[in-house]
Amino acid sequence: MIHPPVDRIHPAPFIKVLRGYRIGFLRGDVLAGLTVAIFAIPQAIAYGILADVPPIHGLYAAMVASVVAALWGSAPFVNTGPTNSASLLTAAALIGFYQTDAHLQVVFLFTFMVGAIRLVMALLRMGSFIHFVPESAFLGFTMGVGSMIALGRLHHLLGISAGDTRWFPAATMDKLSRIGDADPHAVAVSALTLAVMFGLNRYTKRFPVALLAMALAIAYGVLIPGNQLMLVRDISPVPTGLPPFSNPFFEGWTHHLPDLALGALAVAVIGLIEAVSIGQTLAVRHRMHLNFNQEFFGQGLSMIVCSFFQGIPGSGSFSRSLLLEESGGRTFIANLVFGLATALALLTLPGLINLIPAASLAGLLLFIGVRLIDPVRIKRLCRTSTLDTGVMMGTLLVTVFIRIEYGIFTGIILAALLLIQKSRSLHLRELLPGPDGTFEERPYTPGSKHDESAIVALTVHGDLSYGVSHELLDQLNEIAKDQNPEIIIMRIRQAFSIDFSCWNAIFDFAQSFQKVGGKVYMSGIDERTRKTIHGARAHDWIPDHHLFVATENLMESFRSAIRQAAGEVPDPQRISGAWQDWIENPTVITTQQIRDIQKFLSGDLESED
């Protein structure tokens, strides 16, 4: 049996990569890092504005987080930095601090909390937690986030004031109601940006389309006379230089922890889902193993370091990571080059960055928001599962109409409730022999026919959890009453798990059934099940000679149980006709016969006329 690698956390995973680094990788890493930096600079500025902070903090986060996550993470292609969902969640979580003097200090504390949560999850080895987030919930959350990103900067898109309303649905309606007051120049710049982004999107992997859109917007603002466009410098000037060191722990910071905890948890979890999903997708392409716990560690450490250099929360970006991989990146060095190129931009380009119109960034965010919504997956989900569609819609509605931080957790809770509901379904069927030696399963449903017989064979499917224990006991008692068996054979090979409540129901039934002369057999068991029965001191009611261990041959232990049961029935006439015919003329293919057939088909055994 092949066992997957143990996901241990290494304190310096980059050392191993450097030992195996080849000089031939350098050209691809450098080219990929520079390409993504050109693409990401306008995106990072837009995400800074989306997070309701000065744009420079988006650039700080892109520079610092990419380097730290690359050094201590597990996914070489994942580019870490500000993302759409993290920025939007940050703005929503800190909405109460927006117009206070402590706003930026709280943002950096929030970034630290996000990193600390991820780091704790890594140290607790909670990498497998990622599998418990249903795709339907994540899809609903993504739809909500995409809608909020697309319309959240509608005021910049139209060149009007933001208004006083902060609740997203009401704020959107308020802005739409003032569309008649829109600034023609702002609308023109937004339309120009959208035309470039959608029109040239197919060339994004080969050319920095977003940078072209920003350049055209700057040219419009400079060359068109009489325009009153709001520029980046009007929101908050981008300074020249590298990020200064800043302590995220200010006076009285502990008082804010309860208010920030849920939002930080949401950003931490959603960011990890994004980073690991991206990393795993790209790792599969290159037949690499992704260490989930190591990636959690790298993502957490990157946010902690980021908080000391005035960065906003972020995670792995799918668009930037995919571009990094497709541009020839091979190792974490590509992300180091990205970080250095971003730092160079901060030293040389603030003058141009300050001239970017806010309407152009709003157009870029509208493009990003629309692209987040995947109609193909949505249609597939709706056509596949009604219940999962409900999870998706519930997550979407909570995200948009209540609070974005509650969205993903609502989806997880809804999916868990549905899973619990499904686990309450008992899949108990009667096994009956067919004329060709196979077996048919007849469920115990209203209207189904189950003949009286001295031997009744049952098969159980799925998990036997506490939710079905009472139904299981009732059903077994009902079978004993209606079919009047002397021996009940329970095949449990397809029971994936049996918890204490259901074992207790089986033992209670076996004990009461024994008192009236009945016997319970169990087939398809393993040694662990045998030990469970012995450990529960239940072998008085289900002794060892009534237990039949599963073999490699399907149904072999069940057939053995039937034959033994037939020999223990005092009056064979009480056995149903179907089982009597099978017992007298069993259609069984032995293992040797199977091997002979395989040899004949492969030409190794000659047939006889």
Q: How far apart are CA 71 and CA 114, in angstroms?
A: 19
Please report the pLDDT score of residue 1 as a whole number: 41
Measured CA distances, 226 to 97, 182, 190, 219, 229 (Å):
36, 15, 17, 14, 9
State residue 519 phi and psi, 5-degree precision: -130, 145
Q: How far apart are CA 163 and CA 171, in angstroms?
A: 7
State residue 589 phi and psi, 5-degree precision: -100, 120
User: What DSSP line would sit under 432-467, residue for residue?
Assistant: EE-TTS-EEEEE--TT------SEEEEEEEEEE-GG
Please report the pLDDT score of residue 607 as a whole number: 43
Q: For the chain, which residues score pLDDT lower than 70?
A: 1-7, 205, 423-424, 586-609
Residue whose C-alpha is closest to residue 85's, from 368, 292, 322: 368
Looking at residue 366, its amino acid is L
Looking at residue 362, its amino acid is A
Identify whether the C-beta of residue 208 lies closer than 8 Å to the C-beta of residue 323: no
SS3 content of the chain, % helix, strand, coil (to 5): 65, 10, 30
User: What DSSP line would sit under 461-489, residue for residue?
Assistant: EEEE-GGGHHHHHHHHHHHHHHT--SEEE
Residue spans per domain, the chain: 23-161+174-417, 427-594
pLDDT digits (tens, 9 = 90+) for 485-506: 999 999 998 888 888 899 999 9
Please report the pLDDT score of residue 192 as a whole number: 95
Identify whether the C-beta of residue 228 lies closer than 8 Å to the C-beta of residue 183: yes
Helix 292-307 × helix 257-285 angle, to 10°: 130
Three-class SS of residue 371?
A: helix
Q: How far apart are CA 86 and CA 267, in angstroms?
A: 6
Please report the pLDDT score of residue 445 as a whole number: 84
Torsion of CA 41, 44, 49, 54, to 10 degrees: -80
pLDDT digits (tens, 9 = 90+) for 35-82: 889 888 888 999 999 999 999 999 999 999 999 999 999 888 899 999
Please report the pLDDT score of residue 599 as a whole number: 58
Q: How far apart are CA 323 and CA 320, in angstroms?
A: 5
Please report the pLDDT score of residue 5 as a whole number: 52
Domain 427-594 has CATH 3.40.50.2300: no
